[in-house]
Amino acid sequence: MTARNGLTALALAGAAAVACAGGAPAPDRLDQLFAGDLRVVDLTYPVAGNIPYWPSPTGRPFSHDTLARHASGAPSMAAYRTSEHYGTHLDAPIHFADGQPSVDLLTAQDLFGPAVVVDVSAEAAAHPDYALTREDLAAWEAEYGPIPQRAIVLLRTGWGVRWSDSVAYRNADARGVMHFPGFGEDAARFLVTQRDIRGIGIDNLSVDPGAADGFPAHLVVNGAGRFHLENVANLDQLPPTGVYLLVAPIKIAGGSGGQVRLFAVLAEP
């Protein structure tokens, strides 16, 4: 998929999403994009040493070392070291499925596409272990229409308000079990088998609920050759539909994932 084809897909997706009533032609989204008339939302947190991360004895928090400085003291060159799955990042299919593509093998066609936002923030506020269900998806589709094939499904849990507090973000109990919402296994399987999604994303540490038994959503989605996006920022700024996602992960040869710069282009300015 060329860059031009990706932008053309954006134009067509936008036109389909906002076709005007009464047969009036929809705006040319490609022209609007080039003119700077469409709103673009950055869904990426800055990578730093003090952000929440998955607690693991083998995980390494972020380090950033200045190698050369300007006269002001600002770095002119630096080196960093971190886990692939740190900050706003992408889980490549190989992360939980041996034999599936690594991050460098994902194509622009895999990574650029329409997105929908499913909001379970009210349910998550009442029950931190909330898992998205097929019934939730049916209710969403009853209101907004079928989830498009090859969409990226983003789950808004409201966890982003905790980002600046690692303890609240992990929400671990006395036994160390974390409690935050995620995709239920049945919902994940429905999205893969019935809606042929590109991938899923979430605004917390994992697409699986923190207290899940294992990683069922990881196994289903990665097992089908699709990716996950975790620690996605600013989902509260996106509408349920009319979103086109630009997913740009670091291209590590053989990588199981990596930090990603993530942008949402909105069909409405």
Residues involved in catalysis: 95
Contact 209, 129 (CB under 8 A): yes
Alpha-carbon dihedral sign for residues 65, 66, 72, 76: negative
Phi, psi of 67 (to 5 degrees): -100, -30
Tokens of 205: 């540490």
Q: Comparing C-alpha atoms, which of 120, 121, 123, 97 is closest to residue 217?
A: 97
Q: How far apart are CA 210 and CA 5, in angstroms?
A: 38
Q: What is the DSSP letter of 208?
A: S
Q: How far apart are CA 237 and CA 252, in angstroms?
A: 30
Q: How far apart are CA 248 and CA 44, in angstroms?
A: 11
- Burial class for 184, CB neighbours closer than 10 Å (0-12, 13-18, 19+): buried
Q: How far apart are CA 120 and CA 207, in angstroms?
A: 13
Tokens of 236: 């509260």
Alpha-carbon dihedral sign for residues 260, 112, 240, 201: negative
Phi, psi of 13 (to 5 degrees): -65, -40
Q: How far apart are CA 177 and CA 109, in angstroms?
A: 37
